[in-house]
Structure 1
Amino acid sequence: MSRSSHQAAYHGVVTLQRGEDMQVMQISHSVSGGSTSEQLTKLTGQGARIVREDHPLDCVHTGHRLLQLGAALGAGECGVAEYYRFDVSEGERIAGRQAVRIRVEPLDMYRYGYLMELDRETGLLLKSSTLGRGDLVLERFQFANLSYGSPMPSSADVEVTHEVLGHPLPDSAMSAEDLQGGWSVDWLPRGFVLTEAESATASGRRTFTDGLAAFSVFLEPLSREIRSGEGIAREGSTLSYTRGLSLGGQPVLVTVIGEVPVNTARMVADSVRWAR
């Protein structure tokens, strides 16, 4: 699944459901020479188009590397199976393709579960449901139609937004020692590793992933203290958690945004410290 999402050329229409909200998008992923390009066009709402160009084919980001253990399996490493339980069964038919179903159950309370349907032939992810407590579906992604090969023709005129795709440390995940000064996150759920960090010492972002889920931590120094409390907003499986803290006498605003339960975000925010 991890390899096919990057290496296969395909195009189709997908739906993304978050609660009562349903978005329809057209996606085209092409492979040419040693690079890939991707175009995502929203077909509902105000519409927008995001274009990612010239992503090196041999660039494997940290999340994918955590899934692609390869030879490490022979050395006894379990990878994400240390944090999730996997069950494989016969899947349904999605977008005209026969699928294999993978149920992913978290082994702790700090992450969500997933129900995935993969193309039996290519391994491409055809459908994915993010599951909260009690198997509540928080978010569902699904191909409505899918074709492999040449890119999909352009859709109706929409606003075009070009996204610059960065490639932080393509060969290895970052460690806390890679950060010179500034601040750090002292507690993470098992299996999450640092993948990206801004270099600013007093503010910036840290991004973490376990291969399936990801979240970012933002820190903003404040000119004055704010009233104690926390702010929580959810959209599907994505949570935004914000609270004010005092670090070494400096009032700061800490925000955690990502695909984790609120208790995880709260514990991560509480562990933010000035780096020693």
Structure 2
Amino acid sequence: MPVLPNIGAVRGAFFAITLLLSAAASADTCPEVDREALEWLDRMSRSVHEVSYHGVVTYQRGDMDMQVMQVSHSVTGDTSSERLTQLTGQGAQIVRPEHPLDCVHPGHKLLRLSNQIDGGYCGVAAQYRFQVTDGERVAGRKAVRVLISPRDMYRYGYAMDLDRKTGLLLKTTTLGRGNRVLEQFQFAEISYNKRVPEGVDINVVHEAEHPAPGAVQQPARLPQGWRLGWLPQGFVATASEPANAGRKTFTDGLAVFSVFVEVLDREIRPGEGLVREGSTTSYSRGLSLTGSPLLITVVGEVPVNTARMVADSVRWVR
């Protein structure tokens, strides 16, 4: 990562903390299911919203420069507030004020399945294998480690260290093929209280978008509806976007990616472009559908081949 990272890297860390923090459950009939792992991950998905905590985290993508950030999460009544501040680089800050505790987004609904463990539904256990091991001490806290490995080639694996007392995620590592570390964040220090740390000098403040679950957003509109002819098993849309929305987002509960479709005013040379930073892939492809020149872009935490197959599957709705 360059010394002055783009704000997308900061947003990625923010949502890694707020979205990628829980896992599913399954029935005894699901293959190779570690029920203890599922119970720990269910606890983790709740603690990240219900516990007040403040700390400093380090965030690194591959061999790029490490970033240091201050994270604050405060629970008051039936709402929570979050703040993520860069302590290095451009000094950007992302805030999300007054988030309702009972607001459960689609990604979390995929994962909060503790009441369905014995109901015959495998959840993300159909896409991932889980295992519990002893974790290392993180930020002075004893931890339990949950290992998450994909059952197919279309997603990444994870190693997550959870606080044994609170269930809060203290460290997460995203793993590619051959267990290669793609990115990692972890708390360097953490405290559990409602006292908000003193502010630091910042240059840019962004307020995180918070659409209500199921609400239709207002991205660019296309003259015609489109769909994906292929999705990796387990991925679902995160919102009820209209068919002609210029952007649609999908999640399997752990990984998230977005597809952008842009109609061009002239033909472009067929080809593809690729940028990878840690676990984030940005894949673009120019193509023509029924005479319409398009630019398709897939951005998210998925392998390159997954992004390529998703982009190639874009079809007009007839």
In the superposition, the TM-score normalised over structure 1's length comes to 0.92
Contact 2:214 2:240 in 1 (8 A): no
Residue 151 of structure 1 is aligned with which of 186, 191, 195? 195
Deviation at 1:170, TM superposition (A): 5.2
Aligned: 1:184 with 2:222: no
Measured at CA, do residues 240 and 70 of structure 1 come closer, stay the same or move farther in structure 2, by a change above 3 Å? Answer: same
Contact 2:103 2:213 in 1 (8 A): no
Measured at CA, do residues 170 and 223 of structure 1 come closer, stay the same or move farther in structure 2, by a change above 3 Å? Answer: closer
Q: 1:149-204: CA deviations, max 9, x gaps?
A: 11332332212423242234359xxxxxxxxx611112110000011365472x51
Q: 1:99-157: CA deviations, max 9, x gaps?
A: 00011010000000001101111111100000001110000010000111113323322
Q: 1:221-261: CA deviations, max 9, x gaps?
A: 00011111100001110000000111221101000000000
Contact 1:127 1:140 in 2 (8 A): yes
Aligned: 1:218 with 2:260: yes
Residue 104 of structure 2 is aligned with which of 60, 64, 87? 60
Aligned: 1:268 with 2:307: no
Deviation at 1:24, TM superposition (A): 0.3
Structure 1 window deviating more from structure 2 (126-135 vs 161-170): it is 161-170
Residue 273 of structure 2 is aligned with which of 231, 234, 241? 231
**CA distance, structure 2, for counterparts of residue 157 and residue 200 of structure 1:** 43
Which residue of the partner structure matches residue 144 of structure 2? 100
Contact 1:193 1:209 in 2 (8 A): yes
**CA distance, structure 2, for counterparts of residue 197 and residue 159 of structure 1:** 35
Measured at CA, do residues 148 and 26 of structure 1 come closer, stay the same or move farther in structure 2, by a change above 3 Å? Answer: same
Which residue of the partner structure matches residue 294 of structure 2? 252
**CA distance, structure 2, for counterparts of residue 205 and residue 55 of structure 1:** 24
Measured at CA, do residues 15 and 166 of structure 1 come closer, stay the same or move farther in structure 2, by a change above 3 Å? Answer: same
**CA distance, structure 1, for counterparts of residue 240 and residue 195 of structure 2:** 34
Aligned: 1:10 with 2:10: no
**CA distance, structure 2, for counterparts of residue 96 and residue 164 of structure 1:** 30
Measured at CA, do residues 164 and 117 of structure 1 come closer, stay the same or move farther in structure 2, by a change above 3 Å? Answer: closer
**CA distance, structure 2, for counterparts of residue 36 and residue 200 of structure 1:** 33
1:60 aligns to what SS in structure 2?
A: coil
Deviation at 1:274, TM superposition (A): 1.0
Which structure shows the higher strand fraction? 1
Percent identity for Structure 1 against Structure 2: 65
2:108 aligns to what SS in structure 1?
A: helix
**CA distance, structure 2, for counterparts of residue 15 and residue 164 of structure 1:** 20
| Letter aligned with residue 170 of structure 2 | L
Which residue of the partner structure matches residue 78 of structure 2? 34
| Letter aligned with residue 13 of structure 1 | V
2:282 aligns to what SS in structure 1?
A: strand
Deviation at 1:29, TM superposition (A): 0.4
**CA distance, structure 1, for counterparts of residue 103 and residue 142 of structure 2:** 29
Contact 1:29 1:151 in 2 (8 A): no
Count how many residue pairs are aligned between Structure 1 and Structure 2.
267
2:131 aligns to what SS in structure 1?
A: strand
CA RMSD of aligned residues (A): 1.7
**CA distance, structure 1, for counterparts of residue 150 and residue 174 of structure 2:** 11
1:71 aligns to what SS in structure 2?
A: helix
2:110 aligns to what SS in structure 1?
A: helix
**CA distance, structure 2, for counterparts of residue 68 and residue 35 of structure 1:** 19
What residue ranges of structure 2 are gaps of 5+ in the alignment? Answer: 1-43, 216-223
**CA distance, structure 1, for counterparts of residue 243 and residue 157 of structure 2:** 34
What residue ranges of structure 1 are gaps of 5+ in the alignment? Answer: 172-180
Contact 1:28 1:151 in 2 (8 A): no
Contact 1:197 1:205 in 2 (8 A): no
Which residue of the partner structure matches residue 46 of structure 1? 90
**CA distance, structure 2, for counterparts of residue 182 and residue 161 of structure 1:** 35
